[in-house]
């Protein structure tokens, strides 16, 4: 068994400290279009060529490219003319904008929006509330009014959500057999990424995206093609407006935005709206019951602290909320991905 002397604590701390630098390097390379350019090129490119095409300094680009090599985001080949760079498989698949599984918009949202709130994490821990007022000078009371403070910010968020469902959507929709539920409402379905996965996996189902009017309008214009007749829309605020009857209600990344009392308010409203045998599917990042992780869920919970009124929860905590609202036969499925699924029935 290793003694504490065998553990290089300073190196571990240095690696933790480097997390900020690593994210900034990746954000910068994405924003400048490095991975897009290399995906489109017919072969490796020199730092001079990349700098010229992207309109940057040669010295700055060379250092950025070398750091990306160190992070395994790029590969480098030394030739007589100098160093030539190309994407790794990871970058082609997840960092180039044109990839179907691209996480570009997710990273840009972290870079441009989430990072501003995280500057005030110390204040958030002291205050126990979100930091929109400090970060953006806007009220922290209406979190989605602030989140959607401009159409540009709203569209960024919609792309951000769809990036998650490009990776994890199929897994959470397939976690349970949802084929008996043919009339589905996706509450807060936003840009429709999860709805698309749902109708793809369950061809007899229809999905209605229930979201704020301005979100629905942009979803129709930019994200869901008009010829897709199995996805429809319902404009409204599901906290304030009636919720129509359906076979299944999907709440994906919704409850983690809210404190327990608001979660209970929404779940109770859904329970009253649905008929016996209907279901509610929660899609969330689940914390371990013993609080040991996973790290992604712990980090997300801090993100909820600086941005929302909610938090990430354990399977037991979500199950108790569902049971208190009246739902039974509660099942939990871990997907081994970022998001997990919980199904409750009336």
Burial (CB count within 10 angstroms: exposed 0-12, middle 13-18, buried 19+), residue 89: exposed
Give the integer Cα–Cα distance in Å for 179 and 75: 44
Give the integer Cα–Cα distance in Å for 248 and 323: 17
Nearest to 169 by CA among 227, 100, 241, 248: 100
What separation in angstroms does the CA of 186 have from each of 123, 138, 252, 294, 342?
A: 34, 29, 8, 26, 15
CB 133 within 8 A of CB 123: no
Neighbours of 2 (CB within 10 A): 6
Burial 48-61 (b: 16+ CB within 10 A, else e): ebbbeeeebeeeeb
> Does residue 105 carry a catalytic annotation?
no
CB 63 within 8 A of CB 115: no
Helix axes 260-273, 315-325, angle to 10 degrees: 50
Burial (CB count within 10 angstroms: exposed 0-12, middle 13-18, buried 19+), residue 111: middle
Find the catalytic residue in 156, 256, 311, 346.
Answer: 256
Which residue blocks in 112-259 are alpha helix, DSSP H? 115-118, 121-127, 132-136, 143-147, 151-173, 193-201, 213-218
Strand partners, 284: 340
Q: Which residues are marked as active site?
A: 256
């Amino acid at each position: 068994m290793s003694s504490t002397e065998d553990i290089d604590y300073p190196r571990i701390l240095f690696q933790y400290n480097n997390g900020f630098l690593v994210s900034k390097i990746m954000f910068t390379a994405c924003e400048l279009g490095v991975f897009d350019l290399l995906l489109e090129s017919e072969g490796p490119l020199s730092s001079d060529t990349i700098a010229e095409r992207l309109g940057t300094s040669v010295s700055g680009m060379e250092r950025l490219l070398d750091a990306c090599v160190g992070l395994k985001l790029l590969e480098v080949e030394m030739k007589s003319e100098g160093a030539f760079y190309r994407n790794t498989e990871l970058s082609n698949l997840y960092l180039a904008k044109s990839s179907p599984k691209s996480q570009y918009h997710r990273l840009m949202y972290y870079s441009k929006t989430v990072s501003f709130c995280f500057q005030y994490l110390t204040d958030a821990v002291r205050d126990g509330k979100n930091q929109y007022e400090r970060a953006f000078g806007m009220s922290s009371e209406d979190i989605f009014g602030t989140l959607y403070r401009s159409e540009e910010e709203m569209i960024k968020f919609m792309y951000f959500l769809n990036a998650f469902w490009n990776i994890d959507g199929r897994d959470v929709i397939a976690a349970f057999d949802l084929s008996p539920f043919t009339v589905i409402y996706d509450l807060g379905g936003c840009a429709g990424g999860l709805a698309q996965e749902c109708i793809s996996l369950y061809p007899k189902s229809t999905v209605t995206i229930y979201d704020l009017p301005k979100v629905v309008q942009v979803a129709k214009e930019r994200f869901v093609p008009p010829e897709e007749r199995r996805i429809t829309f319902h404009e409204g605020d599901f906290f304030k407006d009636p919720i129509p009857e359906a076979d299944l209600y999907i709440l994906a990344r919704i409850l983690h935005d809210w404190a327990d009392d608001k979660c209970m308010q929404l779940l109770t409203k859904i329970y009253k709206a649905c008929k016996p045998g209907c279901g509610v599917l929660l899609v969330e990042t689940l914390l371990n019951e013993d609080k040991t992780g996973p790290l992604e869920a712990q980090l997300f919970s801090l993100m909820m602290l600086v941005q929302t009124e909610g938090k990430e929860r354990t399977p037991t905590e979500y199950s108790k909320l569902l049971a208190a609202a009246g739902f039974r036969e509660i099942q939990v499925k871990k997907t081994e991905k970022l998001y997990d699924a919980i199904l409750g029935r009336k």
